[in-house]
Structure 1
Amino acid sequence: MSIYEIFNSLKSDSLSFIYKGQFSDTITDKILSLIEVNISNNLVELASLKKKVPFLMVECFQNIVRHAAKLEDEMGFFMIRNIGNSYFIASGNGLMNLNIPTLRSRLEKINSLNKEELKEYYLEILNNEEMSKEGGSGLGLIEMARKSGEKIDFAFYPLNDTFSLFYIQLKIKSNEEHTQETIPISDTISTINHATELHKSMRDNNILLIQQGDFSQDTLFSILTMVENNLNQMNDVSNKNKAIYHVLVELLQNITKHAYSASTTNLKKGIFTVSKSDNYYISSGNFIDTNKTDKLKQHIEQINSLNQDGLKLFYQRVLRQNTETSGLGLIDLARLSSSPIEYNFYPEDNNLTFFEITAKI
């Protein structure tokens, strides 16, 4: 699955963040920080969502961290998408099949209640049932329904005779009178099935992380901190972790510096992904001026023709010749990669071309 295909599947989004991996307090704090930067930039008028979205994200994280079954080959899933005036938040985790009937019954009951009835149900559980060791007895689900003001979309997907994947999705829409839905939201995007299909695609293609949207310096810092913490929890060689981190810096800065930006918005829209099979594959994509593609292709082909010693000499020559250090990032990328840089160009129209690039670590 190419970066361009993923980008097109999310093109209606102002923000897409999709993550499959370990969930710890450190990781969830960094994801929250990252999303809060984005919603601060996006929600200029939608003040009513600025507190709701982080609150509901925390409830989803707690659901994963506290209640997920420990599966050997399955990791937690989290997604947040901003489309027009609505946010979609979804999570997925392993669940023992024997727990499905009780959970399904509780969710169906929650979805049948209005706002006042949800409040009464919350108090009823709080007063009459013991809190579980994991920290609740369905209270988090009730709070999700109360805060979102929408029914909880949910699904169970069997893995084997013992375990299933459990998904929930919330929709949060601004209730401010002066806002209007600026982008029509199709039924395909708004259903839980779209979230589960994205997770399946990530599992099938070994993708750990997808982010699509506007890339600012604040966003970059949050992304890099989150990835660094995630890498530190894995058992990879430290030198490889350093290489991954530096490749991420180069690719993300490439979007920030070189992505096409309309003069009316100044947005630097792009996408990056992190995948892992036997190696790590870090990819990014963004629109560029079509007139720049030939020169960029020649530069990458020249870089790919060189060995490590040649790359070092080429780097020094470019550094001496260019006061603005143009092209050094791609040379650095090649020096850190374990194979030649992979790239593609996809013409969008006469003026814009989508440029995708992948480094193998």
Structure 2
Amino acid sequence: MEPLDLFGMRESYNRQQIMLCFNGPISRSLIEEIGNALRNYLSSENAPASSAMDVFAVYIEMTQNIRHYTRQKDWTDPEAGATVVVARDEQGRYVVSAGNLIESADGERLQAAVQALAGLDKTELKARYKEQLRKPRDEQASSGAGLGLIDIARKASEPLEATLREVDASRSFISLRAVI
């Protein structure tokens, strides 16, 4: 194994204002522990309560979606890993990003859903959310790209971004970014 350049990583994280970074298999208890650490960090930073709640909610939604998806696919730990980053941007806003392996077709559908939501304003997002709430839930259908994604888009201060990077013939890596 190549030696880690922790100082270099630290300097890079500081330049990018990364507050929290995780990479690896993600469990329910780990989501909770990282969530508690995030909540404490935001509290110590005196983040406005509404921003802190939105950042926490977006983090939880993204990580639970990843966990649900990878469990549904019955993937092994290396396949089921997630990369999660919470940072600040140049304007001081919080940026929550999460990524994971995904079957390419599922990734394309998710990316299309994100692009469709990105074209909506706050009023249209609220209407879409209410519409989704009223729809009967099909227990047999995959629950991805629904109410939770719309809720993330509603909390975001700018349109969501999703990028898809091909890994092999059947899988890609999806990255979702929300600015709060």
TM-score scaled by length of structure 2: 0.87
Which residue pairs with 1:41 in the alignment?
Answer: none
Contact kept? 2:95, 2:178, Cα under 8 Å = yes
CA distance in 1, matches of 2:80, 2:43: 29
- Structure 2 residue identity aligned to 1:355: I
Which residue pairs with 1:319 in the alignment?
Answer: 133
Which residue pairs with 2:58 in the alignment?
Answer: 247
Which residue pairs with 1:224 in the alignment?
Answer: 35
Q: How does 1:173-192 map to 2 (within 5 A)?
A: 185-186=1-2, 188-189=3-4
- Structure 2 residue identity aligned to 1:283: S
Q: How does 1:134-283 map to 2 (within 5 A)?
A: 185-186=1-2, 188-189=3-4, 194-259=5-70, 263=74, 265=76, 268-277=80-89, 278-283=92-97
Contact kept? 1:252, 1:284, Cα under 8 Å = yes
1:309 correspondence with 2:140: no
CA distance in 2, matches of 1:195, 1:322: 50
Q: Is the partner of 1:235 in helix, strand or coil? A: coil
1:356 correspondence with 2:175: yes
Of structures 1 and 2, the one scoring higher in RCO (CA 8 A, sep 6+) is 2
Aligned-residue offset at 1:332: 0.5
1:298 correspondence with 2:112: yes
Which residue pairs with 1:91 in the alignment?
Answer: none
Contact kept? 2:111, 2:164, Cα under 8 Å = no
CA distance in 2, matches of 1:360, 1:263: 31
- Structure 2 residue identity aligned to 1:213: G
- Structure 1 residue identity aligned to 2:82: G
Question: Would the alpha carbon gap of residues 223 and 294 (structure 1) be closer, same or farther in structure 2, given more than 3 Å must change?
Answer: same
Q: Is the partner of 2:38 in helix, strand or coil? A: helix
Aligned-residue offset at 1:257: 1.4
Question: Would the alpha carbon gap of residues 348 and 261 (structure 1) be closer, same or farther in structure 2, given more than 3 Å must change?
Answer: farther
State percent identity of aligned pairs.
26
Q: Is the partner of 2:85 in helix, strand or coil? A: strand
- Structure 1 residue identity aligned to 2:173: F
Q: Is the partner of 2:76 in helix, strand or coil? A: coil
Contact kept? 1:286, 1:355, Cα under 8 Å = yes
Question: Would the alpha carbon gap of residues 310 and 348 (structure 1) be closer, same or farther in structure 2, given more than 3 Å must change?
Answer: same
Q: Is the partner of 2:67 in helix, strand or coil? A: helix
Q: Which moved more, 1:344-353 or 1:246-255?
A: 246-255
Aligned-residue offset at 1:302: 1.4
1:335 correspondence with 2:154: yes
Aligned-residue offset at 1:261: 7.4
Q: Is the partner of 2:39 in helix, strand or coil? A: helix
Q: How does 1:103-118 map to 2 (within 5 A)?
A: none
Superposition RMSD in Å: 1.9
Aligned-residue offset at 1:236: 2.1
CA distance in 1, matches of 2:96, 2:59: 7
CA distance in 2, matches of 1:239, 1:300: 23
Aligned-residue offset at 1:241: 1.0
Asked which structure has the greater CA Rg, the reply is 1
Q: Is the partner of 2:151 in helix, strand or coil? A: helix
Question: Would the alpha carbon gap of residues 214 and 276 (structure 1) be closer, same or farther in structure 2, given more than 3 Å must change?
Answer: same
CA distance in 2, matches of 1:264, 1:334: 28
Question: Would the alpha carbon gap of residues 200 and 260 (structure 1) be closer, same or farther in structure 2, given more than 3 Å must change?
Answer: farther
- Structure 2 residue identity aligned to 1:285: G
TM-score scaled by length of structure 1: 0.45
CA distance in 2, matches of 1:229, 1:250: 18
Number of equivalences: 172
